[in-house]
């Protein structure tokens, strides 16, 4: 979520680049946003990303 989106993308790319020879692939990416209530009582929209990395059978 939020500030961790860049880290999620970086980690998924590291896995794919380093593990491609043994069959790991990005099989799905979903981007959305959630409305969350902050501590000050305001509603905030927070971006989310889900990156699926799967071992593909050869």
Residues 42-58 as b/e (b if ≥16 CB within 10 A, e otherwise) read eeeeeeebebeeeeeee
pLDDT of residue 40: 95
Decide yes or no: CATH 3.30.565.10 for domain 2-55. no
Q: Which residues, in sequence order, are CB contacts of 58 under 8 Å at separation 6+?
A: 23
Q: What is the pTM of this model?
A: 0.61
pLDDT, mean over the chain = 84
Domain ranges in the chain are 2-55
Render pLDDT for 15-25 as a digit per residue (tens, 0 to 9). Answer: 888 877 778 88
CB atoms within 10 A of CB 3: 8
Question: pLDDT band at 57, cuts 50/70/90?
Answer: confident
Structure tokens at 1: 């979520």
């Amino acid at each position: 979520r939020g500030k961790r989106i860049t880290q999620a993308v970086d980690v998924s790319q590291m896995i794919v680049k380093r593990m491609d020879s043994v069959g790991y692939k990005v099989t799905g990416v979903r981007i959305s946003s959630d409305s969350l209530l902050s501590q000050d009582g305001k509603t905030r929209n927070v971006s989310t990303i889900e990156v699926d990395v799967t071992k593909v059978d050869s």
